[in-house]
Structure 1
Amino acid sequence: MPAETNNLLEFLLSALSRHPAQGQLWVGYSGGLDSTVLLHLLAAEGIPVQALHVHHGLSRHADAWQAHCAEQARALGVPFTACAVEVAAGDGGVEQAARNARYRAFAEVMAPSDTILLGHHGDDQVETFLLRLLRGAGVDGLSSMRAFRQFAPERALLRPLLGCSRAQLESYALQQGLQWIEDDSNSDLKFDRNYLRSQVVPALAARWPVVPLLARAAENLQESAGLLEEVAGEDGARCDRRIERVGQSIDLESLRGLTRARQKNLLRFWIRSISGRGPESAQLDQVLGQMDAAEDAVPQVELANLVARRFRNRLYLTPQLQPQDVDVEPGSSWQWDGASDLKLPGGAVLSPSAGWPAADYRVCFRAGGERAQPRARRHSQTLKKLLQEYALEPWLRDCVPLIYRDGQLVAVGDLFVTPEGPIQPPYWRFFD
């Protein structure tokens, strides 16, 4: 067996041994050198795998690339799946937007417990490290690409060739007579990664062994990032991090008790754990500035795909799309049988609680001026005052479901029931 084949296969089998897949193995197959070598190694070893090609539609050659990938997978006897995505250029630039679209496609095609293998190699790691260094990244960012991580709920990503160089992959491909695609955009120096690849890394490599050196640096930084994540987890527990109807929250008083560095560390990992994306330093400063806002203020900061808000001395992270932003015609209502789930605009779901009777209900949102009487009280009050008293978050008050039976209000969300209602309210929850 040629030395190059032996080396690459050793890396591949070692990675699969350390991170065994519970479900199906996939390969993110673009048709480029990296993924072509990875797919060939797997097929040659007889490891069951499926090829997944994402059609971005960004190049005039995209259709031809997909056809090439389908043919190569067929020749290797590997099942092939292709999916088309739309790339929103405003999503962090073309490169970032394409990456985001690609990962969303991976998550949609894969089943829970599946793992996708990507062909990133050591030269890619060098470029990633330098890119993040030049963008002022901290410890977590400079730790660069991880060999293994969860990238979506119950879906894993593995980079088994991260310790290999591009030269090793190219040598293997030439030995095996493989055919691969050369993306014409790789020569466009307007992209930072391409500039580093063609202008900077060769100059560095002429003097230093940058691939192993920066690989070692990335590993050391990953260890440091892991320690910071442990600290963030402990601080999150200390700050009473908890799940809310929408999103999560932490106690602001406890957050104030941490040093500024630990405050930022907690927020950074908390935000990433929910959104999958880290915040900018300026955004962290904005969020921490909420701690000093007026007591009756409800400030908000948009970051990644989340919104940070403050309410009653707690800091909330919620999805960006909030229920009150959904366009609902005034006076709209929905029929509910009281026995099954009722999906409401904005991602909310109304479900029967234990003992909730099946019946014909009408569900609507507030129109203004309503009054209600919780079962334990002798008099009614304005719904506006009751929602404040029950500490319902302000951004949810316009979409709390009002449940009527025979024209009588019987429950307000999961907050309370009226004297005409059942013993306890239904369940009211959201899917972020």
Structure 2
Amino acid sequence: MPEAPTSKLSRQLRNTLQRHPAQGQLWLGYSGGLDSTVLLHLLARAQVPFTALHVHHGLSVRADQWQHHCEVVAGAMGVPFVACRVQVDRSGGGLEQGARKARYRAFQQQMAAGDQILLAHHGDDQAETFLLRLLRGAGVLGLAAMAEQRYLGNPDWGRTLLRPLLRASRSELEDYAREHALSWVDDDSNADLTLDRNYLRRQVIPHLVARWPLNERVAQAADNLREADELLGELAEEDLQRCDLRPERFGQSVDLAVFLSLAMARRKNLLRSWLTRLGARMPEAVHLQQALQQAQAADDAVPEVLLGGQVLRRYRDRLYLTPQLLPLGPGEEGERQWDGKSELDLTGGWTLCAGDSWPAGDYTVRFRSGGERAKPRERHHSQTLKKLLQEYGLAPWLRDRVPLVFRNGILLAVGDLFVTEEGPQTPPRWRFSD
């Protein structure tokens, strides 16, 4: 006799939470649709402490109604509720991709280190994702589709995403919802066949399901591909260490010559793994190929290739992955006053703070404007700042961001690189915090 929907889904939820316990607070991504409503009810019924998080995309005229509905339903179940509004940027891959990016940014902004968010993706979603990625030419990791559990953003932050219903089908969720008389909202965009996922769901998958047990076959393929990806990940870790992976002032780098000595397939594998380490999105194959070509550019070239939110760069026999450098906005290029004690915000994630022997005082801080000269304390004559920054090995993309510290118009320090004869014994600290 088949297991009843309530007991089956409750068992799946319990087992998944036991395998992947949250280190911090537990959240639920609650859209108000059928899937997340079922998971909300399952969690409340199991008396699991959690907070429902609703993301208001503003893409539908009914978005306010949906948020109100979610708040009412969560309140009726005694579940804490948080809503946040986001702006969807359609320029980076269209509406679906833009909404997804905005949603995941909202998750990360709400979550603290060690927190876990639950999403209600199920087996039908997994099959759709597998087919979408197959049609887009994805590799092993992409075809492994959605993992049951993964890190959200940088692994060092310990924030995780968990999908406890991934082995359930949509029909099982529908049966559960009917059994418990649940109320949910229907997103009108689900009927838009111009969206790839909707087209697959309505026009393609029903024909496949009529002939094959699609969800089971996709789940098996995804498990096999994930095993293959784990082996590739182990190889990439070995190659990253062989290539002398090291942290830099801004991002990380590997030895370029050793990297180029690897076979092309291993270079691709290393880059994918490295991006994953940094919490970056997996780039399209064409962008990855472009990056590999740029890595072999002429010795004097300083290429910049955007890869999944990170930037691939080259400098002095090293290959770098760095965050994006945002351009300075209006007014951000001007002088700043600094007391020599507090942390000075230089915008874009950069800060300046006092070093061990840096005295308090009235300082002026600004960026390069061109033509500056300086004489480091250990030097006998001055040189152009441009030449000095080259000698001190500051990467070219940071040379316009290095802070120059003055007092009474006299240059005392250049970032944390050096001090002049008039400056303190050691320079201040110049740091990037992503």
Q: Pick the TM interval, shorter chain.
A: over 0.9
1:210 aligns with 2:210: no
CA distance in 1, matches of 2:347, 2:25: 35
What is the CA distance between 1:2 and its match in structure 2?
7.3
1-side partners of 2:92 and 2:3: how far apart?
44
* 1:126-153: CA deviation from partner (whole Å, max 9, x where unpaired): 0000000111100000000011111133
Partner of residue 310, structure 2: 306
After superposition, the C-alpha distances for 1:190-231 in whole angstroms (9 at most, x for unaligned) are 111111111221111111111111111111111111221222
2:193 to 179, 186, 189: 189
Superposed, which structure 2 residues align to 1:223-238 within 5 Å? 223-238=227-242
- Residue of structure 1 in register with 2:27 after alignment: 26
CA, structure 1 residues 22+200, in 2 after alignment: closer, same or farther (shift >3 Å)? same
Please name the residue that 2:413 is paired with. Answer: 411
Distance between the aligned counterparts of 2:88 and 2:408, measured in 1? 49
Deviations 1:257-290 (A, max 9, x none): 2111000111122123325201122222222222
CA shift, 1:186, in A, is: 1.1
- SS of the residue aligned with 2:82? strand
**C-alpha distance 415-36 of structure 1, shift in aligned 2 (>3 A):** same
Aligned residue for 2:431?
429
Letter in 1 for 2:165: L
Written as runs of structure 1 = structure 2, the 5 A alignment for 1:180-329 is: 180-322=184-326, 325-327=327-329
Deviation for aligned residue 1:253:
0.7
- The answer (yes or no) to whether the contact 2:149–2:160 under 8 Å persists in 1 is yes
Gaps of 5+ in 2: none
Question: How many angstroms does 1:431 deviate by?
Answer: 2.3
Aligned to 1:79: 80
Aligned partners of 1:429, 1:186: CA distance in 2, in Å? Answer: 46
Give 1:98 deviation, angstroms: 0.6
Q: CA deviation at 1:332?
A: 2.4
Residue 332 of structure 2 contacts residue 347 of structure 2 at CA under 8 Å; is this kept in 1? no
Q: Which moved more, 1:196-205 or 1:270-279?
A: 270-279
- Return 5+ residue gaps in structure 1 as ranges: none
After superposition, the C-alpha distances for 1:364-390 in whole angstroms (9 at most, x for unaligned) are 112222211111121111111111111
SS in 1 for 2:269: helix
> What secondary structure is seen at the aligned counterpart in 2 of 1:190?
coil
Report Cα offsets for 1:38-69 as digits up to 9, x if no partner: 11111111111211111111112111111111
Q: CA deviation at 1:331?
A: 7.8
SS where residue 71 of structure 1 aligns?
A: helix
Aligned counterparts of 2:92 and 2:307: Cα–Cα separation in 1 = 13
Q: Residue 51 of structure 1 aligns to a residue in which SS?
A: strand
Task: Establish whether residue 390 from structure 1 lines up as the match of residue 398 from structure 2.
Answer: no
Structure 1 CA distance, aligned partners of 2:313 and 2:161? Answer: 32
Change (3 A) 1:79 1:426: same
The CA distance in 2 between the partners of 1:376 and 1:12, in whole Å, is 65
Q: Secondary structure at the match of 1:157?
A: strand
d(CA) in 2 for partners of 1:78, 1:356:
51
Structure-2 residue corresponding to 1:90: 91
- The 1:127/1:330 distance shift into structure 2, 3 A limit, reads closer
Report if aligned partners of 1:331, 1:367 keep a CA contact under 8 Å in 2.
no
Report if the CA contact (8 A) 1:112-1:155 is conserved. yes
SS of residue in 1 equivalent to 2:397: helix
* Residues in 2 aligned to 1:2 and 1:345: alpha-carbon distance in whole angstroms: 57
Aligned to 2:109: 108
Q: Which has the higher mean CA deviation after the structures are superposed, 147-156 or 92-101?
A: 147-156
For the 8 Å contact 2:416–2:427, the answer to whether it is kept is yes
- 1:163 aligns with 167
Letter in 2 for 1:424: T
Match status 1:370 vs 2:372: yes
Counterpart of 2:91 in 1: which secondary structure? coil
User: Residues of 2 paired with 1:327 and 1:51: CA distance?
Assistant: 36
Is the Cα–Cα contact under 8 Å of residues 241 and 248 in structure 1 kept in the other structure?
yes
TM-score, normalised to structure 2's length? 0.95
Shift of 1:154: 2.7
| Alpha-carbon distance between aligned partners in 1 of 2:353 and 2:19, rounded to the nearest angstrom | 42
Q: 1:106 to 1:291 in 2, by over 3 A?
A: closer
Separation (CA, whole Å) in 2 of partners of 1:61 and 1:359: 56
Deviating more after overlay: 1-10 vs 417-426: 1-10
Which residue number corresponds to residue 66 of structure 1?
Answer: 67
1:112-123 mapped onto 2 (5 Å cutoff): 112-123=113-124
CA distance in structure 1 between the aligned counterparts of 2:411 and 2:191, rounded to whole angstroms: 66
CA distance in 2, matches of 1:276, 1:327: 25
- AA aligned opposite 1:345: T
CA contact (8 A) 1:328 1:345 kept: no
Whole-angstrom CA distance in 2 between matches of 1:345 and 1:15:
42
Q: C-alpha separation between the residues in 1 aligned to 2:136 and 2:338?
A: 52
Alignment: residue pair count: 430
Partner of 2:359: 357
Q: Distance in 2 between matches of 1:175 and 1:327?
A: 56
- Aligned-residue offset at 1:302: 2.2
